[in-house]
């Protein structure tokens, strides 16, 4: 028997209702903030991601699904949403002086080690606000993320923020960071020969020269230990970046949003500038599962991809993580348990009439389930209960001869006769 690939999973009909509830709620909220939906391909040229995410990031080095198509072009299943949206923004020719707000929802792919809440195919809901450098916009998108999580019923949320500066202040900071790190990546010679005293992992030693900020992404305990006393970027910001960070904190305070400054929060993508943030659920202990939303500002990305100098900010939330958090916290979503109408029929004549009625009702906007003919009433009632029908209309020869049907409430187990000629009006008040 062929089975699903490792790191993927099926969302069965019984679970889909929870997903749909959140999807609908989140879309309604972001649209109130002026965001419009955008849909981009799940497959892009590999260069889009290596140029935007960064060649030394874990995503590009270890996690991307990349292959050659039949014409020898390198293509990649998208590992995140921002790069594709920026590509679409540039390709569509939107004027950069106009604030453009997008939201997206779709599948992403990363070759990661599968675990609860972390999959190789996963779904992200995200927003991108393109065309404004205002720190107030940073606070607004953070506020939106917090509001969405709270609307889902999540509690004890903690907002972590940082500034990763701009290219100018990072250049100075990189020199200080390399100076601190270099002794931990050196090779010494002892009396008995050459031996290594390197305390950084091989990946971090390579990143030290190319992009030392990525060392903060490392999950190796030895590297985390080394970085405990490393200089932090918030103490090395240029005047403009420091001022912008103060403004972000001011506007968050205006909105009464508490925050924790985490100077080691750098995010796992190279395109971030200035504001970086992450929302975690403190009720969940595992750091692999408690980060629900992450994002930041990326003022250089559009220019780096060939467009005009255009500031932007955004975030993405992992839908699997949110649903897992709700499960861990034992929070039930208010999804409708039973809905729609099931038509049960007794005999071929009754089934023919049920077939006709079902078609008419569906064309008038009703959700109708109809089983095949030949089943017993008991079997059909079990099926109606299993699929979650709110009501069952029972048709038999006696009922049809009198122009009525028996309508059974599947929640209360009560039933009554209703005239078939007035069926639509009766159902409008119930379904």
* pLDDT tens figures, 289-325: 788 999 999 999 999 999 999 999 999 999 999 999 9
Give percent helix, percent strand, percent coil of the chain, each to the nearest 5.
Answer: 40, 25, 35
- How close are the terminal C-alpha atoms of the chain, in Å? 41
Cα separation values, 282 from 42, 125, 143, 146, 329, Å: 33, 21, 18, 14, 11
Alpha helices in 214-332 (DSSP H): 221-226, 239-254, 301-304, 319-328
Name the residue among 297, 12, 256, 268 with its Cα closest to residue 135.
297
With cut-offs at 50, 70 and 90, classify the pLDDT of residue 69.
very high
User: How far apart are alpha carbons 221 and 124 in whole angstroms?
Assistant: 29
| Domains along the sequence of the chain with CATH | 13-166+238-328 (3.30.930.10), 167-233 (no CATH), 341-428 (3.40.50.800)
User: How far apart are alpha carbons 322 and 289 in whole angstroms?
Assistant: 9
pLDDT, residue 186, reads 62
Number of C-beta neighbours around residue 291 at 10 A: 18
With cut-offs at 50, 70 and 90, classify the pLDDT of residue 417.
very high
The string of pLDDT tens digits covering residues 349-374 is 999 999 999 999 999 999 999 987 77
User: How far apart are alpha carbons 351 and 335 in whole angstroms?
Assistant: 32
Beta-bridge mates of residue 76: 44, 66
For residues 246-261, average pLDDT: 96
For the chain, state the CA radius of gyration.
28
Q: What percent of the chain has pLDDT over 90?
A: 60
**What's the token pair of residue 17?**
């209702």
CB 112 within 8 A of CB 7: yes
User: How far apart are alpha carbons 394 and 375 in whole angstroms?
Assistant: 13
Instruction: For residue 112, give every residue at least 6 positions away whose Cβ sits within 8 Å of its Cβ, in sequence order, or none.
Output: 7, 63, 118, 119, 120
pLDDT, residue 303, reads 92
With cut-offs at 50, 70 and 90, classify the pLDDT of residue 174.
confident
Supply the pTM of this predicted model.
Answer: 0.84
Cα separation values, 171 from 213, 255, 259, 264, 290, Å: 11, 33, 27, 17, 32
**What's the token pair of residue 169?**
């202040």
The string of pLDDT tens digits covering residues 82-92 is 999 999 999 99
Q: For the sheet containing 260-261, what is the strand order?
A: 36-37, 100-109, 121-130, 312-318, 291-297, 273-281, 157-163, 260-261
Distance of CA 37 to the CA centre of its chain: 14
Better pLDDT: 150 or 118: 150
Instruction: For residue 107, give every residue at least 6 positions away whose Cβ sits within 8 Å of its Cβ, in sequence order, or none.
Output: 42, 121, 122, 123
């Amino acid at each position: 028997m062929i089975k699903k690939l490792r790191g993927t999973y099926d969302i069965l009909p019984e679970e889909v209702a929870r997903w749909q509830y959140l999807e609908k709620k989140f879309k309604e909220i972001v649209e109130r903030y002026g965001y419009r939906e955008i849909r981009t391909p799940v497959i892009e040229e590999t260069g889009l991601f290596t140029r935007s995410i960064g060649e030394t990031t874990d995503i590009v080095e270890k996690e991307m699904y990349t292959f050659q198509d039949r014409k020898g072009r390198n293509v990649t299943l998208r590992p995140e949403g921002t790069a594709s949206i920026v590509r679409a923004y540039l390709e569509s020719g939107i004027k950069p002086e106009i604030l453009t707000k997008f939201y997206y929802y779709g599948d992403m792919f990363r070759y990661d080690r599968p675990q609860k809440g972390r999959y190789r195919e996963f779904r992200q809901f995200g927003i991108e606000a393109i065309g404004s450098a205002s720190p107030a916009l940073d606070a607004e998108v953070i506020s939106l993320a917090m509001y969405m999580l709270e609307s889902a019923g999540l509690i004890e949320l903690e907002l972590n923020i940082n500034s990763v500066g701009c290219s100018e202040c990072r250049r100075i900071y990189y020199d200080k960071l390399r100076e601190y790190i270099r002794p931990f990546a050196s090779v010494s010679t002892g009396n008995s020969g050459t031996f290594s005293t390197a305390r950084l992992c091989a990946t971090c030693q390579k990143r030290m020269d190319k992009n030392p900020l990525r060392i903060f992404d490392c999950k190796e305990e030895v590297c985390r230990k080394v970085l405990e006393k490393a200089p932090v970027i918030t103490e090395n910001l240029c005047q403009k970046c420091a001022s912008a960070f103060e403004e972000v904190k001011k506007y968050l305070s205006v909105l009464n949003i508490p925050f924790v400054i985490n100077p080691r929060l750098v995010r796992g993508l190279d395109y971030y500038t200035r504001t970086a943030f992450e929302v975690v659920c403190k009720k969940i202990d595992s750091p692999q599962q408690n980060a629900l939303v992450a994002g930041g500002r990326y003022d250089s990305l559009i220019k780096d991809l060939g467009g005009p100098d255009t500031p932007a900010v955004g975030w993405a939330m992992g839908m699997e993580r949110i649903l897992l958090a709700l499960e861990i916290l034992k929070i039930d979503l208010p999804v409708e348990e039973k809905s729609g109408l099931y038509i049960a029929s007794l005999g071929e004549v009754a089934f023919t009439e049920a077939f006709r009625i079902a078609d008419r009702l569906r064309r008038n906007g009703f959700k109708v389930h109809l089983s095949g003919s030949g089943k017993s009433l008991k079997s059909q009632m079990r099926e109606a209960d299993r699929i979650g029908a709110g009501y069952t209309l029972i048709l038999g020869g006696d009922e049809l001869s009198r122009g009525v049907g028996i309508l059974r409430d599947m929640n209360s187990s009560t039933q009554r006769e209703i005239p078939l000629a007035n069926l639509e009006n009766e159902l409008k008040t119930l379904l």
